[in-house]
Amino acid sequence: MMTYFCDSPRPTSFCAHFFAAVMLGGAAAIGLAGCAPDNPGMGGMGGMGGMGGAGGMAIPPAPDMIAVPPWSGTLATSGAADKDPSAKVVEVDLNAAPGEAEYLPGKPTQAWMFNGTIPGPVIRANVGDDVVVHFKNDLPEPTAIHWHGVRVPNAMDGAGPATNEIPPGGTFDYQFTALDAGTFWYHPHVKASAQVDMGLYGVLIVDDPAAPKLPIVGEDILVLDDVLLDPSTGARGVPDEMRVQMMGIEGNLALVSGRRSNVGVPARAGELRLFRIVNAANARFFRLALAGGTMIRVGSDGGRIEKPEVAGALLLTPGERAEILVRVDQPGTTATLRATPYQRVDPGEPTVEIDLVRLVASADPPVQTTLPATLRTIVPLGEPTVTRTIKLGEETSGMETTFLLNGAAYPNVPIVTAKLGTVEEWSLVNESDMDHPFHVHGFFFQKDGEREWKDTVNVPRKATVKVKIDFGTREGAAGDWMYHCHILEHAERGMLAELMVE
């Protein structure tokens, strides 16, 4: 149980979440007194936890999760209405505005939403379509929409120096061609930690009608998130600021597409469903497993992977996506998609299992299905013309933790300049005691020779991950992009940099 709660939404209750330029410029006065939650769940760890990590400072414990009983419902998400009758254009209206969510039955929570829903409406297009989004900002502060993973023209990226911040009441038309099939998402990149935490995120799906068909009975979009609530009222909880600055904000209630977790949906043994999963949480890592069923990974950040892979567990860090086929194996049984413990900081912390979705199979006899052996051909990127080392670090001075790229915090990280039409290899060397999900805007990469396209990759603590980035030419590819840790609080505490592509 958290001891401290208040009922104002985060952006007004504590506004220390700006991008790093602002953050480091002096908005960092965070009151630490009285922040330690009285957390009985820590048991043997004792009080503040006594853990090291983050430069030797003790990390206060995570909030205890609210117990969520199993419930039955739907995974359906709302879609955005296409206003343009032509087949090659998807034209939608999107607005961001304050509203109310009901995560706990009968207990309203103040939230910020796209088109009045969390997640925002699913935007769906085919490869090659033009996507036009008429955006209106009805929030009390500036915002912008970033199209995470989408190879948009630089001026449409909604982030970084190229961004138009849209003032309250302002409008902006985002326009781009959907070049790649896959499961993408959109979220603000202005005060991102606060705005995304308040509920501003949605999914963009791009289909490739020519791709091999999967033998599925249906598909669901699962946007994973968590929210910190006062369990008795549904009002937003006040997080422990010391923990937030080290680990990012984590909630005490896991959300699946804007609903509390542990929802049961009907199924039949043997049949395959496609789950398109987005981790939209600021900081929570979801290590997914399907207990009592089979999970087959078929897609990654940038669409389908080359061959289906049966997966025992699948780590999805903030920003990453996975497309998985799920199946209950036996009639009359239940398969549970569960977040299983994963240690993202050293020394480790107590973690809990969270049941996210249950597939409840009828007694009908199992269905047989066969999958295509190859989903897509992915050609490995060639020899890099440039190799770079990017060191991920952290530094604590006094009560402030800063996250670093090559020893500096944004905006002091030297700008990387890359040439269009080249492949670069970046060695991401994590020297810190915690994992960092590394995200590059505007370009896909391949990890260590894996046959899949990524835009976000976890770099485990004290480990090195090598990625080859494809700076292939396309319209609007030149410009000032960015890369950063997708723990949004880490990005805002320095782990963000500019990438000039010319």
**Given the rule CB under 5 A, which residues bind Cu ion?**
436, 485, 487, 490
Instruction: Give yes or no for a contact between 435 and 343, defined as CB atoms under 8 angstroms apart.
Output: no
Contact partner, 439, from Cu ion, ligand C2O, none, Cβ < 5-8 Å per class: ligand C2O
What's the CA gap between 197 and 118, in Å, rounded? 11
For the chain, how big is the Rg over CA atoms in Å?
Answer: 22
Cis ω before 119 (30° cut-off from 0): yes
Q: How far is CA 20 from CA 16, 300, 305, 338, 487, in A?
A: 10, 29, 35, 34, 13
Shortest separation between residue 187's beta carbon and ligand C2O, angstroms: 6
Q: What are phi and psi of 283, to 5 degrees?
A: -145, -20
Shortest separation between residue 403's beta carbon and Cu ion, angstroms: 6
Shortest separation between residue 49's beta carbon and Cu ion, angstroms: 19
Contact partner, 236, from Cu ion, ligand C2O, none, Cβ < 5-8 Å per class: none
Q: Which is nearer to ligand C2O, 124 or 146 (CB)?
A: 146
What's the CA gap between 36 and 241, in Å, rounded? 9
Residue written as tokens 């005490």?
Answer: 252
Instruction: Give yes or no for a contact between 144 and 159, defined as CB atoms under 8 angstroms apart.
Output: yes
Q: Which is nearer to ligand C2O, 238 or 477 (CB)?
A: 477
Shortest separation between residue 206's beta carbon and ligand C2O, angstroms: 16
Contact partner, 490, from Cu ion, ligand C2O, none, Cβ < 5-8 Å per class: Cu ion
Four-CA torsion 436, 18, 277, 73, nearest 10 degrees: 130
Shortest separation between residue 106's beta carbon and ligand C2O, angstroms: 33
Contact residues toward ligand C2O (CB under 6 A) are 146, 148, 159, 187, 189, 319, 439, 441, 484, 486
Contact partner, 436, from ligand C2O, Cu ion, none, Cβ < 5-8 Å per class: Cu ion
Residue written as tokens 């782990």?
Answer: 495
Q: Which is nearer to Cu ion, 10 or 490 (CB)?
A: 490
**Cβ-closest residue to ligand C2O?**
148
Instruction: Give yes or no for a contact between 437 and 430, defined as CB atoms under 8 angstroms apart.
Output: no
Contact partner, 10, from Cu ion, ligand C2O, none, Cβ < 5-8 Å per class: none
Shortest separation between residue 201's beta carbon and ligand C2O, angstroms: 9
Q: Which is nearer to ligand C2O, 222 or 328 (CB)?
A: 222
Q: Which is nearer to Cu ion, 358 or 490 (CB)?
A: 490
What's the CA gap between 2 and 379, in Å, rounded? 50
